[in-house]
Structure 1
């Protein structure tokens, strides 16, 4: 019995780092009806093979009035992606279809909804500047932040 308990304890300890690593490979970003994200910075650990961002809209307004998404691009591409997205419209989540500059994004969501984007860590480079923002027209002025690949 002691050996079984000891073996189970060792298995639990061995599994703990994997669980902790997977928990660190995700983030939740909240958006509200006042055009705000609850965070301005996200750090992705280098140990992640992929990183998930769940966007939760904590407001009440529908997506056609106060919709939000979470879009990740290289910082240098932010303004061009926003401009092209405005032309694409709500049905395209305010993103140019097939835009290679977009690393990851959620769909446009309204109050009470959520969506998740997966960022392949292989698309991120250490030392590179990345921006996340809401591409709904006019929202990126307030709803933006930075994403970095950790050391």
Structure 2
């Protein structure tokens, strides 16, 4: 192996261990009792035919007091979806059959997890999308962007 190839290999290994995010077709997001997701961005590769988001509630509190879900919508629809979700009430805080919602996990309590699969043809990869928790009051801090690269 040449010195240049070795340097490139070492740089790639360093980037991987330094926590650089790469676009993928499968991602895990964690949420806990501190009312935060462990990321503010989900990066999806445009070449994916579908992508999966795994949500893990790593806290201990039950879903009635500290429930979390992950809802994906166009950013412009977020406020309306949150308002209608609050009106829909417990346990999911998601309006049934809301066409503005691209996908959502179920509401989770501590130790639970759920996975959603999104067909990439249902989104515009050049569109503006967000994800958030629809439990009342959580979306003000539990939100992020869905990006395609």
**TM beyond 0.5:** yes
Cα offset, 1:38, TM superposition: 0.2
| Structure 1 outlier segments of 4+, above 6 Å | none
- In 1, are the aligned partners of 2:24 and 2:43 still within 8 Å (CA)? no
Cα offset, 1:47, TM superposition: 1.1
Secondary structure (helix, strand or coil) at the match of 1:24 reads coil
Alignment of 1:52-71 (within 5 A): 52-71=52-71
TM-score normalized by the length of structure 1: 0.82
Matched, 1:95 2:58: no
The Cα RMSD (Å) is 1.1
- In 1, are the aligned partners of 2:33 and 2:66 still within 8 Å (CA)? yes
Query: Which residue number corresponds to residue 28 of structure 2?
Result: 28
Query: Which residue number corresponds to residue 82 of structure 1?
Result: 82
Query: Which residue number corresponds to residue 17 of structure 1?
Result: none
Structure-2 separation of matches of 1:40 and 1:145: 4
Structure-1 separation of matches of 2:125 and 2:112: 32
Residue correspondences, number: 127
- In 2, are the aligned partners of 1:33 and 1:60 still within 8 Å (CA)? yes
- In 2, are the aligned partners of 1:54 and 1:117 still within 8 Å (CA)? yes
Structure-1 separation of matches of 2:69 and 2:90: 11
Unaligned runs of 5+ in 1: 1-22
Cα offset, 1:126, TM superposition: 2.8
- In 1, are the aligned partners of 2:58 and 2:111 still within 8 Å (CA)? yes
Structure-1 separation of matches of 2:85 and 2:57: 20
TM-score normalized by the length of structure 2: 0.83
Cα offset, 1:108, TM superposition: 0.1
Unaligned runs of 5+ in 2: 1-22
